[in-house]
Amino acid sequence: MEYRNLGRAGVKISRLTLGTMNFGPWQDEAASFAVMDRALEHGINFFDTANVYGFDKGKGLTEEIIGRWFTQGGGRRESVVLATKLYGSMSDNINDRGNSAYNIRRAVEASLRRMQTDHIDLIQMHHIDRSTPWEEVWQAMDQLIGEGKITYVGSSNFAAWNIAMANERAAQRHMLGLVSEQSVYSLRNRHIELEVIPASKAYGMAVLPWSPLAGGLLAGIYSTDDSVRRKRPALLESAEKLRPQIEAYEELCRSINVDYADVALAWILQRDGVTSPIIGPRTIEQLDQNVACLDITLSDDTLAKLDEIWPGPGNQAPEAYAW
């Protein structure tokens, strides 16, 4: 396993991040435990979750599963750089959401209880909260850092100007600021190449792409594989709008004899500025295949063909649309 710094922070994280959103809603506890154990065997030390994960089966369920896995001992907690997120609504309480100081403290304390740990290594704001001033956000984070309950702060789904403002306000308080940004990024969705990746690089932040397979669109949905994940009706319906591109993509993958999902993950691993894409395997077999992608290097010719099928903005802003 390869490791990189979490942005400008000194801590090292694995080149792949284990995403846990499936734990609970679509993967039972025993299977979740097995995947986490296998991840450690592979050297994956960076686990990502969120307080809202569990969804219809109960928000917080995924964190609870992780907590019960930690209690098995064997150095599990000590081996993991643990990341979770706050922002989403956890109840009908009007203040049980957002990035207010009120909710930040409550959310962190609740996540600590669910995961049965005394600290969170990376707390991420799951979305920008336009109603809360940065002075309030950083005061709350600073207090929690001082209490040893969180170590680093990151963002998720932030615009570039949100990233800049957050870090500048943190610098005024002599704080480290944001060390990572978790954004949607794949061959299908390359918007962050315009400004978010350049801003993250400028501030020394890790970029943690989520949904590198575009929700399954890049996993071979028109192949002969009858996987339930790849063939679910909602996915097929959304794919129809992109059918020519997807079919061209799948043909390219077959021509180089590399699995569809492997091509998508290998591509994102080769992108400038990307630190650790988030994978969400439901089985040990899927996890093993994801890890194998670390040994795949796509040729310049293949990368050029992927750009033709799934064109990005072509440059960062403003060069992408102005002189």
Q: Which residues are catalytic?
A: 53
- Report d(CA 83, CA 66) in Å as an integer: 11
Nearest to 140 by CA among 154, 130, 155, 150: 150
Instruction: Tell me the residue length of the chain.
Output: 323
Contact status, residue 126 vs residue 86, Cβ threshold 8 Å: yes
Query: Which residue's entry shows tokens 């988030």?
Result: 278
What element of type H or E holds 301?
helix 300-309
Is 284 exposed, middle or buried (CB count within 10 Å of its CB: 0-12, 13-18, 19+)? middle
Nearest to 157 by CA among 177, 129, 120, 121: 129
- Report d(CA 80, CA 124) in Å as an integer: 16
* Cβ partners under 8 Å of residue 63, min gap 6: 49, 51, 53, 54, 84, 111, 114, 115
